Copies of this chain bind each other. A is one copy, B any other.
Amino acid sequence: MGSKPGKGSYHHGELRESLIAAGLAILEEGGDPSALGLREAARRAGVSAMAPYRHFPDKDALLAAVATVGFERLRAALEAADGGGEGREALYAQGAAYVAFACAQPGLFRLMFGARSGGVRPEALCLASAAAYAVLSERVAALVPAESAAEEALRSWALVHGIASLAIDGMIGEAARTDPQAAAALAERLLRLETLPR
């Protein structure tokens, strides 16, 4: 009711969303983004292997669409962690949430930063990643002098992104790789460290 009745067997426009949802489900089952394939996504959506080509020009386009959802989720996680709190603690909470997100969804996280559709990142993907970064960079901007805000934000991003990457690749230890809470706690500890003494 609401949409045209009498069809039934068609996906009546939902197939695109079904394929993205299937992609997210595939990525949740393991950390390997190469497990997400066009045919497997079509299989899970209950549709023929060629049907996805009616909604995505190629595999990279599906990957980019899934990655875009990933950045929207990351942005939501960062906003929730920030909590509108005040100052430095909000920044630390964002960093912990960033690392916990990667650790909880390593396949999605790897895809988000590896998905370049034919060498070029689609605009929707750029917008979604910029929106996620804005949550972090605005928090940093509220803490430091305006002239160094851009570089401080980039530095904070690089630090949490490095922790997240090393953690999910198992370079820091088994606990940091498999336990989002442990990884988040490590991130908070490293964020609180002072710079090397002069």
Contact = CB atoms under 8 A, between A and B. Distances in A.
A86 interface: no
Interface stretch (A7-15, A16-24, A152-160): A152-160
Interface string A157-194: 11111110110011110000000000000000110011
Given A143-B196, A158-B162, A163-B162, A151 B113 contact: no
Interface string A124-162: 000001000000000010011000100110110111111
Is chain A's interface secondary structure helix, strand, loop, or mixed overall?
Answer: helix
Given A195-B195, A196-B144, A157 B152 contact: no
Contact of A154 (B114, B190, B198): B190
Contacts of A194: 195
How many copies of the chain does the oligomer comprise?
Answer: 2
A126 to B, nearest CB: 10
Contacts of A193: 148, 151-152, 155
A130 to B, nearest CB: 10
A88 B163 contact: no
A37 B3 CA distance: 48
14 contacts: A88-B196, A113-B169, A114-B169, A116-B169, A121-B170, A143-B196, A151-B189, A152-B193, A152-B196, A159-B159, A160-B162, A162-B165, A194-B195, A195-B195
Interface of A: 34, 88, 91, 110, 113-114, 116, 121, 129, 140, 143-144, 148, 151-152, 154-155, 157-163, 165-166, 169-172, 189-190, 193-198
